[in-house]
Structure 1
Amino acid sequence: MSRRPFPTQRRHTLFFLDQIRDFAPVHLDTEVDATALVAARRRAKEAGARRSVVAHVVHAAAGVLARHPEANSAIQGRLEPELATYDTVSAKVTLDRVFDGRRVVLATVIPELERASLADVQAHLDRVAAQDPDSSPEFAPIRALRALPWREALDRFRSAAGQLELRPAVTGTFSVTSLGHTAVDGFHSVGGTTVTLGVGRIADRPVARDGAVVVAPVLRLSLTFDHRVIDGAEAAEVLTEIKDALEAVR
């Protein structure tokens, strides 16, 4: 056995997991008939544009969350809890990146999605994907956190993540995380927001249509919600409406 200090490149992940200990998760999942989604991505590619599955999910979910303000909310406190309902929709999207030589999970927040087009969402994701976490301004707060002494870094993280008014900019009002680039069919994740969407891969599966079984591309989509903020019926409606929006993509 060997022991070593916890890697500073991942301390933000450890701080985040400490921050969400009070989260009360409930997990839902569904299957999305991705026929229209696959066709839309193919048409975009033929036109010289990139439209990722994550971009489609973010854009569809943003429209749904704008219609469900109770789900676009956050909670703070135990003895005297407060709820904040936001008039803007922003998504925290996780990223698999290499930071100072170590593979880590980072995130970007896409703001003001109630006014953003699908192309705007994709442009943000592409811009961040092209940046180097070791030097780009996008990830300067993570580098600054790493440079601080452990206790000071933890206190600063807690202070920023714990302020309800800062949530849209710091953690987003909902989260999206994807493992769809691998052989993962589906999974559940807690993203620190009231609603977190987990995106699996698109794979050909048997689907019933008009009384017959056909093969179609299917996307596994999960939704984890904080039961302190909303109940199951609200969360189920949100997931159903996101599914419907993705199946109606043009």
Structure 2
Amino acid sequence: MTDTQVTPLARERRHTLAFLANARTAGAVYLDTEVDATALTEHQRQAERKISVVTYVMSALARTLTEYPQANATIGGLWESEVTLHRTVDVKLALDKTINDVRCAASAVVPDVAAMSLDQIQDQVERLRDTAAEELDELAGIRTLHRLPLSVARVVFAAVTRKSGGPARMGTVALSSLGHAEVARFFSYGGTTVTIGLGRITRKPVAVTVDGTEQIVVRPTLPLSLTFDHRVIDGALAADVLSALARHLREPDSEQP
């Protein structure tokens, strides 16, 4: 008799394995910072409705990648020899979903977030978050992958996410948040040139200068990570993107169109 149990891998995880097989070619490099979230949390408090941190980040990403279009790009072509710069910022948002009683990560693309207000982005975030996976049109593709043998699912995934169809299915930038849990920071690769990771906002002591005097104060702080694909951009540009994103998050009033 044994204390272990061996079961087949759940079909509902096949889309994740197919993605990971395709992601192995990326040259992922990781950066991180912390953002003073004082103005952001105050903006949340004064808003007429609940606006999630994810929504603020999506809006800030639109402005950041408009400033740095080289990072809003897709690599593809024969031997990955072509880079396409995209005119719209399409955010691939990671979702925590349960499919047939299996908890798994899924993702859906919110297109052209630069054309949306905070309220419009929040509407999309709530729809994707609150709608059952079986009812989301955006997840029809992964439901198809679940019905295929794993070897076939990997081939199909690679075929449909090539450069010509990639942005519609994979977005031009990826965003994932674990801020609901006690996570300080994390780093992931979402299949795009830039992937943003969010941790939990916590109160931390920071040094500030007031009237020429340095003081220690407690501020809400957002851990912010950026994974970039070194095949497409280099560290200096990625650092500028992360710095610009942090700046937009420190100034949420500027995110209103």
Q: If the TM-score is normalised by the length of the shorter chain, which range does it land in? A: over 0.9
- Paired residue for 2:21, among 8, 18, 21? 18
Identify the residue that residue 194 of structure 2 maps to in structure 1. 195
Q: Which residue of structure 2 lines up, in the alignment, with residue 98 of structure 1?
A: 98
Partner residue, 1:135 = 135
> What amino acid is aligned across from residue 32 of structure 2 in structure 1?
D
Please, which moves more after superposition, 119-128 or 136-145? Answer: 136-145
For residues 77 and 139 of structure 1, the distance between their equivalents in structure 2, rounded to whole angstroms, comes to 26
- State the AA in 2 paired with 1:35: T
Residue segments in structure 1 that go unaligned for 5+ positions in a row? none
Task: Please point out which of 213, 217, 230 is paired with 1:214.
Answer: 217
Question: Which residue of the other structure, out of 221, 230, 238, is the alignment partner of 1:235?
Answer: 238
Task: Quote the offset at 1:78 in angstroms.
Answer: 6.8
Task: Report the CA distance between 1:3 and its aligned residue.
Answer: 2.9
Give 1:186's aligned residue: 185
Amino acid at match of 1:183: E
Q: Secondary structure at 1:74's aligned position in 2?
A: strand
Q: Check whether the contact 2:35–2:221 (CA below 8 A) recurs between aligned residues.
A: yes
1:188 maps to amino acid: F
Displacement of 1:66 after TM fit?
1.5
How far is the alpha carbon of 1:80 from its aligned partner? 5.8
Distance 1:137 1:176 in 2: 19
Per-residue Cα deviation, 1:49-107 (whole angstroms, up to 9, x for no partner) = 12100111111011111121110012125746111111111001101111110100011
1:249 equivalent in structure 2: 252
Which residue of structure 2 aligns with residue 152 of structure 1?
152
Q: CA deviation at 1:154?
A: 2.2
* Conserved 8 A contact 1:203-1:218: yes
Following the alignment from structure 1 to structure 2, what is the Cα–Cα distance between the partners of residues 80 and 61?
25
Question: Are 1:38 and 2:41 an aligned pair?
Answer: yes
Cα contact 1:56–1:118 (8 A) shared by 2: yes
**8 Å Cα contact 2:19/2:154 also seen in 1:** no
* Contact 2:109–2:138 (CA under 8 A) maintained in structure 1: no
Report deviation, 1:22.
0.8
172-181 or 136-145: bigger deviation: 136-145
Cα distance per residue 1:128-173 (max 9 Å; x no partner): 1221112332322221221223333222111111x21222210000
Letter in structure 2 aligned against 1:75: I
In structure 2, how many angstroms separate the alpha carbons of the residues matched to 1:204 and 1:63? 27
Residue ranges of structure 2 left out of the alignment (5+ in a row): none
Counterpart in the other structure of 2:10: 7
SS at match of 2:252: coil
Residue of structure 2 equivalent to 1:74: 74
**Contact 2:77-2:163 at 8 Å conserved across structures:** no
CA deviation vs aligned residue, 1:193-220 (integer Å, no higher than 9, x gap): 0000110110000111111110010001
The residue aligned with 1:177 is 176
Q: Percent identical across equivalent pairs? A: 42
Q: Contact 2:60–2:249 (CA<8 Å) still a contact in 1?
A: yes
Given the two structures, how large is their TM-score scaled by the length of structure 1?
0.94
1:205 aligned partner? 204
Q: Give the aligned residue type for 2:6.
A: R
Is the 1:100–1:134 Cα contact (8 Å) retained in structure 2? no
